[in-house]
Amino acid sequence: MFRMLGMYSVVFFLLVLQIRGDVRQEALQNKNMFGGDMAGGINVPRISNSTDGPVMAFVPNTDYKLWTGGVLYYEYDATATRNDQVLSAAIQEIHDKTCLRVYPRNGQASITSYVRITTTEPGCWSYVGMKTTGSQQLNLSVSGCWYVGTVIHELLHAFGFNHEHQRYDRNTYVTIQEANVEAGACWSYVGMKTTGSQQLNLSVSGCWYVGTVIHELLHAFGFNHEHQRYDRNTYVTIQEANVEAASLHNFALVPLAESTNVDNPYDLDSIMHYGAYAFGKVDATTNLRLQTIFVKSDPARIMKEPYDLTSLSAGNVREIQAVYKAECPAVGGNTPAPAAKKLARLLPDIVQLLRRLLSIME
């Protein structure tokens, strides 16, 4: 009997996830942002509105690049609601498995390129890559974004990574049910801004999950969505009839010429890949969200959302190490050794201790 109740509980949980109003999903589906959570940056097209809906244009962007040395600095905005536990878990996952490093800025004026974490705007979003002209925003709203998987997702955007489901070969592996997609708030710029700070938005509503934070941090590191890879259609089918018309642009493919091509296989487990019901229309009769992404090799598979995850996939790790190999020469594209990981964990404490010793000596 208890086993049957457990089974029904799982079914009920899966149904609840499809019901309109899941704040975690909606927080990653922001209108007029590329892929729903990328505000700009490396290989992110400009989106403008027309009478026919959103229009995208890929234009050169020299303000963003990969983070120097693979190190991303951050600080909370003065108005932000802090969630150090989730943020620390997301950062630890990145430190444990990749050469990337995320450290607090601690108000150091000499660090001019850094991520400013906000929570007051709707949604979870980031810029992609490092802004070279100042700070950049990464927003994680208090409700919906603060999950480990979401935070990792946005951090990887900040590091410069795009969505897996927007790869050029996506449609080979999954199907996007476009008729089920609805219009869509966690977002980031992609890559490092070269002229100052950049915003990474994790709104109070829907963003503070470890997976969402990782997702947005990876955007900030310069990574795009996996489901927008140029080869996406080889692996998934986008059921366009299930996608709300105003959100179809979120499944646009990133051309090969605009991609960071490291010959990594399409990654269905990527924290940068959206889930099965992303941007799905809501059925008026059942009030359930329609499925939009179908895996070609396993049509029954229900893809997870970034906020359902708490760790990087093996494919995420390989791509990060490959893309940042030149910026992290010490690890040579390999996963850090245990001793190196322990040293990285202790480094902030060592720096603080040295500062205290210097202040005493003065």
pLDDT tens, N- to C-terminus, the chain (362 residues):
333 334 333 333 333 334 344 778 888 888 778 888 988 888 777 555 444 444 444 444 678 899 999 999 999 999 999 999 999 999 999 999 999 999 999 999 999 999 999 998 989 999 999 999 899 999 998 778 888 899 899 898 888 888 888 887 888 898 877 567 653 357 777 777 777 777 776 765 678 889 999 999 999 998 889 999 999 999 999 999 999 888 888 899 988 877 766 788 999 999 999 999 999 999 989 888 999 999 999 999 999 999 999 999 999 999 999 889 888 865 544 554 454 455 445 555 555 555 554 454 44
Known binding-site residues equal 215, 219, 225
CA atoms of 101 and 115, how far apart (whole Å): 13
Residue whose tokens read 């947005």: 216
CA atoms of 159 and 154, how far apart (whole Å): 9
Give the CA radius of gyration of the chain. 19
First to last CA, the chain: 71
Handedness of CA 224, 226, 227, 229 (dihedral sign): positive
Q: What is the token pair recorded at 340?
A: 């190196």
Burial class (CB in 10 A: 0-12, 13-18, 19+), 261: middle
Task: For each of the domains in the chain, give its residue range(s) and CATH number, in order of start.
Answer: 23-43+55-166 (3.40.390.10), 186-324 (3.40.390.10)
CA atoms of 144 and 47, how far apart (whole Å): 24
User: Would you list the DSSP string of 312-330?
Assistant: --HHHHHHHHHHTTTT-TT
Active site residue 216: yes
Known binding-site residues for Zn(2+) equal 215, 219, 225
Other residues' Cβ atoms within 10 Å of the Cβ of residue 337: 10
Burial class (CB in 10 A: 0-12, 13-18, 19+), 341: middle
The total number of residues written for the chain in this structure: 362
pTM of the model: 0.69
Q: Are 95 and 341 in contact (CB under 8 A)?
A: yes
Which member of 216, 244, 305, 319 is catalytic? 216
- Report the pLDDT value the prediction gives residue 12, as an integer from 0 to 100: 32
